[in-house]
Every structure is written in C-alpha cells, then in structure tokens.
Amino acid sequence: MKLNNVFKSRLKLLGIVFLFFMPVIYAWYLVFFTDFKMNSRGIEHGLLITPIIQLGNLELIEPLTQETNELFGKWTLVSFINNKCDKECEYQLFELRQIRLAVGKDGNKVQRVAIAKDNNLISSAQLKLSQGLLLLKDDKDLKLKLNNLFKVYPAFDRESIYLIDPYGNLMMHYKKGTNPSGIIKDLERLIKISK
C-alpha cells in the first residue's frame, strides 16, 4: 500500500516536471525543425535586408563647411536624389532631419546622407534647410560602385530611405510613405540595443 502511494506521488511529480518542460521542448522543435513563422514580420517598421550588404567605410562631406566625415561609427539614414532636388526630394530631406532630431539625446549617433549623381543637384538654400546633411564624396567611380552595391538588393528603389549600421552594413529599407514615427522607433531600439 505504501509503495503504491510513493509511486503515485512520484508519478504526479514527473507529470508536473513534464508540464514545465513540454513548452520549452515544443518551442525548440518548432524553431529548429519546422518552418514555423519563417517569413513572419518582427516589430521593425522597415524591411530587414537579408543578407546584409557590406558597403565599407565611405568618405562623406559636409557641403556647407567642406568638413569630411566617415560612414563608420554612426547609424546612417540614406536618401537618393535623382536628376534634381524637387519638392518631394526637399520633403524627404526635411523628413530625415526631423527623424534625426526626434531621436533626441541620441541624435549624435545618427547621421543623414544624400547620394546624388552630382552634388550640385542640391541647392545651397536646400542645404541650409537640411543643416547637417552629408553628401557622398563627389567621385564618379565611388558613386557608381556604391550604386551597384545598393542594386545587389533585389527590392532596391531610389525613392526609399535606407539604414546603414555603424559598421557600414546596409541593413534596413523603408519604402516611400513609411510613417516617420516607425523609423524613429526602430532607430531608438537599435541605438538602445547597440549600447
């Protein structure tokens, strides 16, 4: 009789242990042996670029002061300028400026870069409005190489905003019309995690 009670109590204990470990084992199985949530969206507001594209370190120029900067070391928002900087282009440059300002105290960890075929496409008035905007060094070979690297990404679109990490990796794509508050949240999260 006593052995029967001991057996029942041990069986109950094993049942409780099994109930505790079963979800962990099931989750492990789902992650490593099935396609469960393989293409699901995370909490990011842009599209993660996979695999990331290594751009390397680039020389950037602050057009008003002619100071040079590097791509490495900061989160970089990139905008492409087509044949001329029209109202839409101006708005996108303004939006990038506001996104950087909205990051707040960590705004010094974010920089904005405009890539144009010719740096003269942006007028000095537009540059004053988007103070702190950096341009890619005016070197045709460098710009061609960079354009080709961006075009490796199948969903490349010149009207989108791209995010480059502090190590020079192209990692996120924000389609035209993406809510700026989503970009701000992503940047804040990335800066917080990278600390």
pLDDT of the residue at 85: 80
Per-residue pLDDT tens digits for 111-159: 998 888 777 767 776 776 677 788 877 777 777 888 888 888 888 888 8
For the chain, the residue count is: 195
User: pTM of whole model > 0.85?
Assistant: no
Q: How many helices (H) and strands (E) does the chain have?
A: 5, 8
Model pLDDT for residues 20-49, shown as the tens digit of each residue? 888 888 888 877 777 666 555 556 678 888
Token pair of 10, please? 């041990």
Correct CATH for 47-194 of 3.40.1080.10, 2.130.10.30, 3.40.430.10, 3.40.30.10: 3.40.30.10
* Average of per-residue pLDDT across 156-179: 90
φ, ψ of residue 142 to 5 degrees: the values are -65, -45
Q: Dihedrals φ, ψ of 139, to 5°?
A: -130, 110
